[in-house]
Structure 1
C-alpha cells in the first residue's frame, strides 16, 4: 500500500498516511490488534442451534471464529479510517456526500485484500487449533457479552492502528479518564488489559516502546477504553474468557501466529488496485464541495 498524491485545485494532497514503510507499520499495527484481541463487529448471523455448531467442520468453525473476531471488517475499516484521518490532517475540504463516497471507494478497493486476509487466517486457525478450543471461543463471542466486547474494541482499535501506522503523525484519540469510570468497572478493565497486553509478542513490544506512551501507557489506554465502554458483567465475561485455557491457546503469545499475520497482511495489500482507487479519489476530490 503506497502513498497516493491527489491534485485538488492547485494543491497536491497526500490523503493516506501510509507511505514508504507505512505498509509494514500498518501490518504491524493490525498484527498488534489481533494480539490484543481487538476486532470490529461483523454481520455474522448466529448459528441457529448448538447441534449445528457441533456438526460444523473444522474449517467452518475456524471461519466462524474469524468472523466473530471481525477480521475482514477490521481490515477494511482500518483502511477507511486511515484514509479519512490522513485527509483530515491535511485539511482536505470535502462535503459530507464527498466523504461518504470517498469512504465507499476505499472500502471497495480494500475489500479484496480483506477477503484474502480472512481466507489465509481461517486456513491457519483450522490447521493449528483444536476443534474444542474453537467451539469454546464461539460459545463466548456468540453471546450479548461477547458481541459487546467486540463492539467496544472497535471504538479504539481503529485509532490505535492508524496511530501506530503513522508513527504518531495522526494523534491518538483519548478515552475518558480513569477517575470518570466507576471503580469496580475500571478495576476489571485494568485486569483485562493486563491479560490482553500480556499477549503481545516481544517484537511488537519493541515497537510499542518506541511510541510516546510505551507499554505502560498502552495498558492504561486499553483499560480506560474498555472500562468506559462496557458494563461490569460484560467486562467480567470478557475477563473470564481471556483467562480461559482455550483463549490462551487461540489468542495467547505465539511467534508462529505473529509471523503468519504479518506475512498475510503484507501479501493482502497486493490485492488492492491502487491505480483504480487513485482515479476514483481524484474524481471525488475535483468536485466542488456542496
Structure 2
C-alpha cells in the first residue's frame, strides 16, 4: 500500500497553490510536511481528504484514484484527518464523539441490527470497547462522559486525534496537531503519535513545530511556493541550505529554522489559549 501524488496541481484562477508536486508515502512511516506559511502544506491535506478538488494530476492510494471520489468515499477508503482548528461535537460526550464514527457501511449489517436485537447489542458493545481502548491510549478515559466542549484545549486536541484513529485508518492526515499546545502537551502528543505508528498505516503530519517534526518523522517533505523543494530524512533536511533559505532568506543553521517555527506556534497559541 502506497499513497502517491503524481504531478499534483491546484489552481485558484491565476493563483497556483500546488505546482506539479510528485511524491510517494509508504506505510509504517511517519511523514512530515513543512514549509513557510502559504507554501501549500494544508492544501495537500485538503486535496487528499477530498475537501479541495484537484486541478490536474492524481492522488492514488493502493491503485485507487482518490481524486475521483467524493469525501465520504475517500473516508470509506480508509483516510482520516484532523484540522488546524478543532472540530468536535461540543455538546456530545467524549465517548459519543468517537462512537459517531461507527456508522453502518453495508445494508446487511443494518438489517441484522433491525431484525436481530442481540446482534445489534453485541455490535454496540464491541464498538464501545474499541472507543474506550482509544480513550485509554490518549488518557481520556476519565473524561468519557464529559461534554467534549468542556474539556481543556489540550485534551480536545487529543480527542480529535483519537477520533481520527478509532476506525483504524490506512491513511492518517494531521494538520498542525500541535497548534496551541504548551511544551508539556506537545511532548505528550509526540509520544502518543510515535506509539500509534503501524506497519499498515501511512501517517502524514503538517506541522510548524520543528522539534516535534525532527523527533517524530522518518521522512520530511519541504514545500515552498506550492512546489516540492526538498525531500529527505530529518538529518538531510537539517543539512539542506535550500531549506534554510526557504525559511529565512539566508543560509543559517537549523536552530534559526526552529526559532522561526516556534514563533509561528506562539502566534497560534495566543489565539487558541483563550479557549482553554
TM over 0.5: no
Structure 1 or 2: larger helix share?
Answer: 1
Q: Which has the higher contact order (CA 8 A, sep 6+)?
A: 1
